[in-house]
Amino acid sequence: MKQVEADVAIVAAGPAGLAAAVAAAEKGARVVVFEKSSVTGGCGNMAMGPFGVESRLQKKQIVGLTRDEAFKIHMDYNHWIPDARLVRAFIDKSGNTIDWLEDMGVEFIMAARHFPLSEPTWHILKTHGGAHGTGAIIFKALTERAEELGVQFFFNAPVKKILKENGRAVGIQAVDATGETVQANAKAVIVATGGFGGNAEMIKEITGYEWGKDLFSFKIPGIEGEGLKMAWEAGAARTHMILEMYCSVPRQGDFWNLDVVFRQPNLLVNLDGERFFNEEVFQNNTFAGNAISGQKGRCAFMIIDDAIKKQYVKGNFDQICFDIPIEDAAEFDDELERATEEGTRDFFVADTIEELAEKAGINVDNLVKTVAEYNRACASRDALFNKNYAYLKPIRKAKFYAGKLVPSGFGSLGGIKINHKAEVQDDAFNVIQGLYAAGTDANSIHADSYTFIMPGNTMGFAINSGRIAGESAADFVDSLA
């Protein structure tokens, strides 16, 4: 068995683990990182940008909110269920973290809103050509900085176990790329394996959703809940765990045109053919996911007619979906044809409402009644949910279309209990000396839904809690000297 000596051993090099590595090394700690895949950055490589408040960029652009305001919004939205000290520590650090990344050469275009009713907290990355970039830019810069500071990386090296002695975390065991066990003896350990969003069994056991049946979230390979299991085995308390949920058409990435059209604020019905949601709220896609999750079969159908479709085909959307990488839905018909050929049973077209309901498996009589009621509302007002008049478009002109919407999402949230210094706590709220956790594994700052109104907050939490964990671990190492 190989042996490595370090001050801080870090489990994974995703956004949280990598930020932790740089932060600990900047404080002078000798750091070793074990990453299961062959690259750094984890899911963050696909992300568009992290959360920040009171960053230099926001001050320059005169946008954004204060840390106090962001804290209040977060705590009120989450009914003061999360640990307020942890939320405060994350928010307080977030602006400085954007500046920290800028000082490493990362460029952000702007602090943006995801949708009109959200806050401008999302720091969108800029490529060298000036276009929208992805989180990969951040993780390239952090990796270079880590290497410059002498951080040692093991890739293709999944960690299997946290080592403890006299109640303290003293290292980890991993298997390296050659299959040999490597033991890192360290004074502190940081766990950051990104939750269980890629593990269908854990999703079912913890959240009750069946991936591929009533959940169509990103299932990123390698994100298997290993850090959670290791930390729990080492005595960490469990927090509540949720999905970072939103809603979309099934297989969203294969059908962007259908996704963008069927996520506009038009008539939404459940299998009983009844409305259950103010479609205007669709812009907070997490709320839409919650409402759909409560319906029969955990699904819903958006109904449009040909006139509405034509508007979107030209790119005249009623609501902008910032996360959908297309500017019009010109390929709507092609995608519909492909979906039908593939036998998806998720998208339907018909000459009458009755035929549409029949094809989609929606209660026919009820849908006919609902469409008639909805069309009357379009001519007066929506007495049921008071939807904004601007979004009341009648369903009149054949052909008629129905698109299925289902709970979807980025992954999981929560699992390992930490305090505001990212120290792991046991069931009795005692700190497990030398053990830290960060990122998705420890993201318990959302109550039952993630705080979509302040965009960028999950990768933001990962990077900031990682930084906090790295700094705390380095301080702990110093305290032992």
Ligand X SMILES: Cc1cc2nc3c(=O)[nH]c(=O)nc-3n(C[C@H](O)[C@H](O)[C@H](O)COP(=O)(O)OP(=O)(O)OC[C@H]3O[C@@H](n4cnc5c(N)ncnc54)[C@H](O)[C@@H]3O)c2cc1C
- Kindly list the residues in this chain that would bind ligand X in the complex (CB under 6 A): 11-17, 34-37, 42-44, 46-50, 158-159, 192-194, 218, 220, 222-223, 226-227, 410, 439-440, 456-460, 462
* CB nearer ligand X, residue 156 or residue 319: 156
Look at residues 240, 272, 250 and name the one whose alpha carbon lies nearest to residue 416.
Answer: 240
CB within 8 Å of 404: residues ≥ 6 apart: 249, 250, 262, 299, 300, 301, 346, 347, 360
Length of the chain: 481
For the record, the structure tokens of 161 come out as 């176990």
- DSSP SS3 for 125: strand
Asked if residue 7 lies in contact with residue 477, where contact means CB atoms within 8 angstroms, the answer is: yes
- DSSP SS3 for 51: strand
DSSP category for residue 126: B
Return the H-helix or E-strand segment holding 475: helix 457-480
* CB nearer ligand X, residue 35 or residue 335: 35
* CB nearer ligand X, residue 370 or residue 458: 458
Burial letters for 99-131: b for 16+ Cβ neighbours within 10 Å, e otherwise? ebbbeeebebbbbbbbbeebbbbbbbbbeeeee
Shortest distance, position 80 Cβ to ligand X, whole Å:
22
Shortest distance, position 240 Cβ to ligand X, whole Å:
17
> Can you tell me the distance from the alpha carbon of 396 to that of 390, in angstroms, rounded to the nearest whole number?
17
Shortest distance, position 230 Cβ to ligand X, whole Å:
7
* CB nearer ligand X, residue 221 or residue 343: 221
> Can you tell me the distance from the alpha carbon of 125 to that of 137, in angstroms, rounded to the nearest whole number?
8
* CB nearer ligand X, residue 90 or residue 312: 90
Shortest distance, position 392 Cβ to ligand X, whole Å:
31
Shortest distance, position 339 Cβ to ligand X, whole Å:
21
Shortest distance, position 12 Cβ to ligand X, whole Å:
3
* CB nearer ligand X, residue 271 or residue 445: 445
* CB nearer ligand X, residue 194 or residue 403: 194
Shortest distance, position 317 Cβ to ligand X, whole Å:
20
For the record, the structure tokens of 227 come out as 């850090």
Shortest distance, position 429 Cβ to ligand X, whole Å:
23
* CB nearer ligand X, residue 114 or residue 309: 114
> Can you tell me the distance from the alpha carbon of 128 to that of 140, in angstroms, rounded to the nearest whole number?
13
Q: How many CA atoms lie within 13 A of 309 on its CB side?
A: 22
* CB nearer ligand X, residue 37 or residue 283: 37
Q: How far is CA 139 from CA 106, 142, 229, 303, in A?
A: 9, 5, 26, 41
112 strand-pairing partners: 122
Shortest distance, position 242 Cβ to ligand X, whole Å:
13
Q: How far apart are the first and last CA of the chain?
A: 28
Shortest distance, position 88 Cβ to ligand X, whole Å:
19
Asked if residue 188 lies in contact with residue 7, where contact means CB atoms within 8 angstroms, the answer is: yes
* CB nearer ligand X, residue 25 or residue 303: 25
Q: Which residue has the tokens 């002109």?
A: 397
Q: Is omega for the bond preceding 369 within 30 degrees of 0, making it cis?
A: no
